[in-house]
Amino acid sequence: MRITKYIHSCLLFELDGQQILFDPGKFSFIEGLVHPEVFKDVSVIIITHNHPDHLDVAALQKIVALRQVIIISNREVATELQAHGLTVQIHEEGRLDLGVFQLLALPVQHEAILDSPLPQMTAWLVNGKVLNPADSFANNLLPFAGVEMLLLPVTAPFLTELVVADFALKMRPRQILPVHDGYLKPFFIQQRYENYGPYFEKHGIVFHRLAEPGDAITLP
């Protein structure tokens, strides 16, 4: 299974010729470093929640125009996208089989943010190996401690590095792929990785430094 990062929380999963895309948000496209055409072979798009850094409606419309794509999300996102003429398959909890991908949806609470209602949000476990918590460090994710790979938000208005480290050590994944860092200048992303990487590695956790759009890793 190959996982490619396209800035922030936009991640492309590929396995046996099938592609699933998570959270194509505005941070991925706003600087012209990533273009919707990159995702012309995607068959399924999953949106974890209705925040612009995870959902760029205009980019999503362009991707959908490239081929027939299934969009999967929760009711709140479905309502938003239906207003823009996009059809959404609602799946908020439980198992979902999509070809070679076996998914598990988990309702989770978004971390607290300033003066704003929290969106409905869904975390996803992919093929029993990769946990995408979206923007949540909720306790109902803890039963998945020891997962092979954790997609770990490493920067956000609601985070400090101590909160990030505490959650990661509770989850004890074998590997970490850092996400949710599209707020940062490239030099500061590198600085953050050089701060987080050695810390997690001394705890026996591999930390993947995917800093450039299109950087990827492969899981056996």
Q: Are 24 and 35 in contact (CB under 8 A)?
A: no
Q: How many residues does the chain have?
A: 220
Q: How confident is the model at residue 116 (pLDDT cuts 50, 70, 90)?
A: confident
Q: Mind listing the pLDDT tens digit for each residue in 178-206?
A: 999 999 999 999 999 999 999 999 999 99
Q: What local confidence, expressed as pLDDT, does residue 115 receive?
A: 79
> Quick one: tokens of 90?
């609602």
Tokens of 66: 């490239």
Are residues 111 and 139 in contact, defined by beta-carbon separation less than 8 angstroms? no
CATH class for the domain made up of 2-218: alpha beta
Query: 55-79 pLDDT, tens per residue?
Result: 999 999 999 999 989 999 999 999 9
User: What mean pLDDT is reported for the chain?
Assistant: 97
Task: Enumerate residues 6+ apart whose C-beta is below 8 A from 50.
Answer: 76, 77, 80, 119, 120
pLDDT value, residue 113: 92
Tell me: pLDDT of 124 over 90: yes
**Taking the domains of the chain in order of start, what are their residue ranges?**
2-218
- Under the banding of pLDDT at 50, 70 and 90, the label for residue 104 is very high
